[in-house]
Chains A and B, each alone.
Chain A
């Protein structure tokens, strides 16, 4: 029974990996970027658990810059995905320009708030 489960899980991962291998390269780059942002946020949350919440505004801006980056990247990924029919009229160049503009605004706010 147990063996069957671990085998199923392995099968599942193998299926996922082979399916993911078919993903276009630009989406893979975005995924990597999202993972990087989330890892940075997790490191900071662990750090605040160790040293305490002072200075809280710096902590908030540090973590929110990671979260904001990840969210914007997810939005970009949705808009440039060819298989997503919802944004088929939106050119990927336009989506990327929106992404850049939002990032600039986000980081200006973060710089102001981080102290």
Chain B
């Protein structure tokens, strides 16, 4: 009996975490995150960053990168909804996790944070390359900026730089403006020009370059100016989000709390912009902002409520769709004035901007074009920082029925008269012809 009870308890204990990790479209926020570290000291040196996750209700699972028990999935089910790689030096991961495993994790729509560092391993570089960014190949190179460095007593080689060149997007960085510059000490990366999904969130100033600060610069640096990205994000087509940073220190308590004065500027900030920048960015990466869903696509003829199976050409119709944004806790109405609907057959015949009632309902009305065939209602909404919406609903359009055409048109009366006079003429002609003897 005690044996049975203990098996039952063990079973419940095994199942409970599985039930709680459900990543559902109803609540798109990740709940369980695996954090891979190079050594346990990162846990304390980056505690503010991790603490902010825990206060937002996340469940963090810290592991050393070479822990042999690491496994992202069990019985084909993912155990985690997000992965944070704070292990820039890991040559290989422990357990069954490898490059392909991380990419599969992203392909399943889950999120990833990568922090590289001066000594970034090939594994981390390979993962980043797959995500569309290329770190500087010179492993000793760091980002150096002699004009917009952060003034400090100890740093003489200007590798501690202060940047305030953020991406202009409220949805990625939050609506509150980041006043203080972000301090960054790490390596440079560039975006793969063939990848249209990757975005620079924090870029270096035009005077920055990537070189080894210890050695004399004998040849032009491989990367320089604004093409250097310090922090980048990717939103994949399956809405998985990836954050790639060239610096692990960016997330550290030390830089969160340190004051910052940008070289050449009079203003000294008590606190750097790092904490706000990183926290807001992590909210975006883990889908607390900018995740849209569209529900109840409806259409009907003007004056009716039932959705017909087919429209006739030149019908007046009304179309509506509801769009909500996930706020981290609940679905809030999404308000925008640039959502458009297409009435589409090979090309859009009608393209109309939807008007919103500020409560998430978008609607418009238009006239079906004078063309029949199989049409689609299409909403293609792709905006910077938001998950993409691609909706389509098929609807056939038929021509007029034989008895639906307009009749007795005034303009046509001469033609009616012409043909009637021909009939009358035929009648008169017949009589005259037969009786003219």
Contact = CB atoms under 8 A, between A and B. Distances in A.
A115 B405 CA distance: 8
Interface in A29-46: 29-30, 33, 36-37, 40-41, 43-44
B432 interface: yes
Interface string B373-408: 000000000000000000000000000000001110
B414 A62 contact: yes
Contacts of B421: 40
A65 B416 contact: no
Nearest to A69: B422
B423 A30 contact: no
A44 B418 contact: yes
Interface residues of B, number: 22
Interface string B244-261: 000000000000000000
A96 B430 CA distance: 9
B433 A96 contact: yes
Contacts, number: 78
Contacts of A71: none
Nearest to B419: A65
Interface stretch (A1-9, A13-21, A51-59, A81-89): A51-59
B409 A55 contact: yes
A36 B416 contact: no
A26 to B, nearest CB: 6
Contacts of B436: 25-26, 29
A54 B419 contact: no
B411 interface: yes
28 contacts: A25-B436, A26-B436, A29-B432, A29-B433, A29-B436, A30-B429, A36-B425, A37-B422, A40-B418, A40-B421, A41-B418, A54-B409, A54-B411, A61-B415, A61-B419, A62-B412, A62-B419, A65-B419, A69-B422, A69-B425, A107-B419, A107-B426, A111-B419, A114-B415, A114-B416, A114-B419, A115-B405, A115-B407
Interface of B: 405-407, 409, 411-412, 414-416, 418-419, 421-423, 425-426, 429-430, 432-434, 436
Interface of A: 25-26, 29-30, 33, 36-37, 40-41, 43-44, 47, 51, 54-55, 58-59, 61-63, 65-66, 69, 73, 96, 100, 103, 107, 110-111, 114-115
- Of the listed residues B412, B425, B436, the one surrounded by the most CB atoms of chain A closer than 10 A to its CB is B412
Nearest to B433: A29
Contacts of B414: 43-44, 47, 62
Contacts of A59: 412, 415
B401 to A, nearest CB: 14
Contact of A26 (B405, B422, B423, B433): B433
Contacts of A29: 429, 432-433, 436
A33 B418 CA distance: 14
Given A40-B418, A63-B418, A58 B409 contact: yes
